[in-house]
Amino acid sequence: MIDYCSKTRTFTLNGKSFSYIMYVNEVGMLQNVYYGASVANDEYLTRVCAYGRSPKPDDLNRDYVQDYVPFEYGAYGRGDFRAPSAVIVRKDGFCASRLLYKSHKIYDGVPEVAGMPHARSGGKTLAVTLKDELSPAEITLNYTVWDDSDVLVRNAVIKNTGKEKFVLDRAYSFCTALPDHDYDFMRLQGRWANERIPETTPLGHGTVRIESSRAASSHVMNPFMALIRKNCSESTGECIGINLIYSGSFVLTAECSQDGNLRIQGGINELGFSWTVDGGDSFVTPQAALCYSADGLGHMSREFADFYRDRIINRQKAFARRPIVINNWEGTYFDFDREKLFSIIDAAAPLGIDTFVLDDGWFGKRDSDTSGLGDWFVNTKKLDGGLAAVAERCRKNGMKFGLWFEPEMISEDSDLYRAHPDYAIGKRGVEPCRGRNQLVLDFTRSEVVDHVFRVVSDILESCDISYVKWDMNRNITEFFSASLDAERQGELAHRYILGVYDLAERLTSKFPDVLFEGCAGGGGRFDGGMLYYFPQIWTSDDTDAYERTKIQWGTSLCYPVSAMSCHVSACPNHQTQRTIDFSTRGIIASLGTTGYELDPSKLCEKEKALVKTQIEDYKKIAELVLRGDLYRLINPYVDNYFCEMLVSKDKNHAYLAGERFHGVPCDYDMFFKLEGLDPDKKYMVKELGITAYGKTLMHAGLLLPRLPDFTGFAWHIDAV
Ligand code: DGJ
């Protein structure tokens, strides 16, 4: 699936249904030829498709030629005036580069990306090394493809082959080119409690740029973009999705150049970034996953979902049944003691809940969000008998015990801060910006990471804990580390994320039986980097069953539903004040890793009975959530309904869940078409008592139920 033709110096990479072709042109530059649906490696492609965009030897020093070439990695200051992919600043300040092909190798497997999340296994990799003719830099571009996937993984490694150091002012993960710009640009934007809202705008000339400069992928913009053709729908038309496997400050851009073609690239955000590479050292950029789909956004999402489940998320966890948790945050906030927790546990167990997760407030001096972070020892005044007593109460009730941490943070009012004020990121003498009254620990320092590893390990070893919720509630400001030299302060944001990955790697390896759930004030770090360590992430602090239809829809564009932690919470909803009936809340939370976020001792008997049935029902569809294919049927941003469907890989089972938002008098009859079924299999839609062929359900469709405001429906469909 990766070929090299030495005659035309062409590389052809083939995935399941796409081809990616590039070649070394006459002057030795690596340029893109084609990225799209599978094609044959016909020789004419390099002669004709690259025609007019491929410089001849005489053109080398003509800037107007360089500016047209669809390079695979953009160089700075030598005639290509589009945004470069890397900027290499030498000792005297000179930073122009020209990248020429040096060598390549093709091998089985994936490249090593030490210390960073990466595609784990299989595949074939092409590594093309380009040499900068003006500096001692060699840039290796890695491309990994798999026979059974439409995802292509890329990154770049920049090596200093000289003796003197140079500084990278920018080092993107990938760059590619498309011959036209007739696409719209989709991103997932948002804010706290309203994350990953799809927004699509046309591309024009100039650059569309999305980014985060927060040292976290953020609530505001996800490291995902898609270029979509005007006719692209859920099930038809072309699109290319790009998702960075990275959790820090990022950038993704689409730049339409003067000849109408498109440069797309991205990686670590260059704002505030610089990285000194000593002679002989290399800088490794995070991986980016590119997905080509000829069959709409739905196919792209299913490819990303399979990619994450098969190749990013820890294999032991990706397909393992997840516990159904009860989390006490919205049930108690900081206001709890041992007896209150016991009453939650006692009330939850008979309902079929597997695990009690004790949220914020169990440690140090932590009765509000103004103090205590960093002091990871149990507050025995609040919890007589310590965590062991809570774990024991869970055990007696046949439940497991989980615990909340916010390992990357420190409160100024904490013993840790009093002992080590320098552990916090920031510049002494400069009043820090406080986010949620807290500061961020300096994870660029190994002694800080070691300390947190030790104290969190001690707690995890102190009693039977099978689940960790890893929160992170603020972004970095006053970027300054007491331990970095002046010239290396620009490395802080990336080094911080490397420190987070290091801690996550060490804790998940030391406690392989513990399920770690990611959380960042809800969905503030929902990205492929975190999924490498945490198979599921608390999707959003907004648990309203209407808002969640939109948040989960957006999130599913590039992440598997099994990665979305979705809880039923109490009403009126704490974020929106809306009241939605209990079963609808359960239905919307069933389209992910389900759980509860309330005080079960306060539920009435009818609600308790509903929890029991919801859990029994969820267990029947749990495999579909873990392994199924998602089809988004009715878009909540557009219609008065929301509807999604999960279909098993063998197409024998499906689960369809939806919600009607507003009741409309004398509403029209509306049919909607199912997707993903086998046209020639007969299915039974259990709740409707209908038996029909897949082709009938997919072409004639089913009638949408007329339901009161914000009411859900869930149907089970099985081959008969
Ligand atoms: C933010 C999280 O998203 C919530 O679920 C909860 O854990 C709080 N932090 C606790 O402080």
Give the model confidence (pLDDT) of 152-172 as tens digits: 999 999 999 999 999 999 999
Q: How far is the CA of 179 from the centre of ligand 1 (A)?
A: 45
**Residue whose CB lies within 8 A of the most ligand 1 atoms, among 541, 542, 566, 598, for a mutation test:** 541
| Closest C-alpha to 410, from 438, 431, 432 | 438
How far apart are alpha carbons 48 and 83 in whole angstroms? 26
- Selecting among 541, 542, 544, 629, the annotated active-site residue is 541
- Average pLDDT of the segment spanning 474-503: 97
> Half-sphere exposure (CA, 13 Å, Cβ side) for 422?
6
The predicted model gives 140-149 an average pLDDT of 98
As a dihedral over the C-alpha atoms of residue 78, residue 79, residue 80, residue 82, rounded to 10 degrees, the angle is 110
| Residue of 359, 470, 472 best suited for mutating to test ligand 1, as the one with most atoms within 8 Å of CB | 359
Is 99:132 a contact under the CB 8 Å cutoff? yes
* pLDDT score for 524: 98
Helix or strand (DSSP H, E) at 326: strand 325-327
Q: Over 517-582, what HEC string results?
A: EECECCECCCCHHHHHHCCEEECCCCCCCCHHHHHHHHHCCCCCHHHEEEEEECCCCCCCCCCCCH
Mean pLDDT of 52-62: 78
Return the residue whose CA atom lies nearest to atom 11 of ligand 1. 360
- pLDDT on residue 227: 98
- Rounded average pLDDT over 431-443: 96
So what's the pLDDT on residue 566? Answer: 98
Distant-in-sequence, close-in-space partners of 493: CB < 8 Å, separation ≥ 6: 215, 248, 249, 268, 269, 272, 273, 476, 479
Whether 413 is a known active-site residue: answer no
What pLDDT score was predicted for residue 56? 83
517 CA from centroid of ligand 1 (Å): 12
Q: Is the pLDDT of residue 229 over 90?
A: yes
> Among 285, 277, 295, which Cα is nearest to 235's?
295
CA 684, CA 548: separation in Å to the nearest integer? 29
Q: Are 306 and 32 in contact (CB under 8 A)?
A: no
Mean pLDDT of 18-46: 91
For 497-525, what is the mean pLDDT? 98
CB 349 within 8 A of CB 612: no
Average pLDDT score, the chain: 96
Over residues 401-421, the pLDDT tens digits come to 999 999 999 999 999 999 999
Give the per-residue pLDDT at 122: 87
Tell me the Ramachandran region of residue 423: left when phi exceeds 0, alpha when psi lies from -120 to 50, beta otherwise: alpha
Q: Average of pLDDT values for 133-138?
A: 97
Res 43: pLDDT? 79
Dist. CA 201 → ligand 1 center (Å): 33
Tally of CB atoms within 10 A around 650: 9
Q: Of 152, 113, 138, nearest to 32 (Cα)?
A: 152
CA distance 510 to 504: 10
Helix intervals (H) in 198-314: 296-307
Per-residue pLDDT tens for 275-317?
999 999 999 999 999 999 999 999 999 999 999 999 999 999 9
Task: Please give the C-alpha separations between residue 373 and each of 98, 149, 361, 438, in angstroms, as whole numbers.
Answer: 49, 43, 9, 8
Helices and strands (H, E) in the chain, number of each type: 15, 38
Average pLDDT rounded to a whole number, residues 546-575: 98
pTM over 0.75? The answer is yes
Rounded Cα distance between 344 and 616, Å, is 20
Confidence of residue 259 (pLDDT cuts 50, 70, 90): confident
CA of 333 to the centre of ligand 1 (A): 9
Minimum CA distance residue for ligand 1 atom 9? 521
Looking at ligand 1, which residue's alpha carbon is closest to its atom 6?
329
The pLDDT of residue 470: 98
Take residue 448 and report the two structure tokens written for it: 């800080």
190: left (phi over 0), alpha (psi -120 to 50) or beta: left
- Which one of the listed residues 59, 359, 471, 544 is annotated catalytic? 471
User: Which residues, listed in sequence order, are joined to residue 405 by a DSSP beta bridge?
Assistant: 470
What is residue 705's DSSP assignment? Answer: P
Q: Does pLDDT of 128 surpass 70?
A: yes
For residues 600 and 344, the answer to whether their CB atoms sit within 8 Å is: yes
Residue 63 is predicted with a pLDDT of: 73
Question: Contact 174/267 with Cβ under 8 angstroms?
Answer: yes
DSSP 596-634: EES-GGG--HHHHHHHHHHHHHHHHHHHHHHHPEEEEEE
Give the C-alpha separation, 361 to 373, whole Å: 9
**What is the three-class DSSP state of 448?**
helix
For 381-399, write each residue's pLDDT tens digit.
Answer: 999 999 999 999 999 999 9
Q: What is the pLDDT of residues 584-613, one digit of tens each?
A: 999 999 999 999 999 999 999 999 999 999
Determine the pLDDT at residue 516: 98
Say how far apart CA 74 and CA 256 lie, in whole Å: 14
Task: Write the residue with the smallest CA distance to atom 4 of ligand 1.
Answer: 521
Residue 555 CB: number of other CB atoms within 10 A?
A: 29
Ligand 1 atom closest to the Cα of residue 520 is 3
Ligand 1 surroundings by CB, under 6 angstroms: 329, 359-360, 404, 471, 473, 519, 521-522, 538, 541
pLDDT over 80 at 51, yes or no: no
Rounded average pLDDT over 128-145: 98
Range 444-466 average pLDDT: 98
For the cut 80, the answer to whether the pLDDT of residue 48 exceeds it is no
Q: Which tokens is 147 given?
A: 């026979």
SS3 177: strand
Q: Indicate if 541 belongs to the active site.
A: yes
Cβ proximity of 527 and 179 under 8 Å: no
Distance separating alpha carbons of residues 407 and 503, to the nearest angstrom: 9
Q: Give the per-residue pLDDT at 52.
A: 57
Q: What is the CA radius of gyration of the chain?
A: 26
**Ligand 1 atom closest to Cα of residue 469:** 7
| Count of beta carbons in the 10 Å neighbourhood of residue 358 | 28
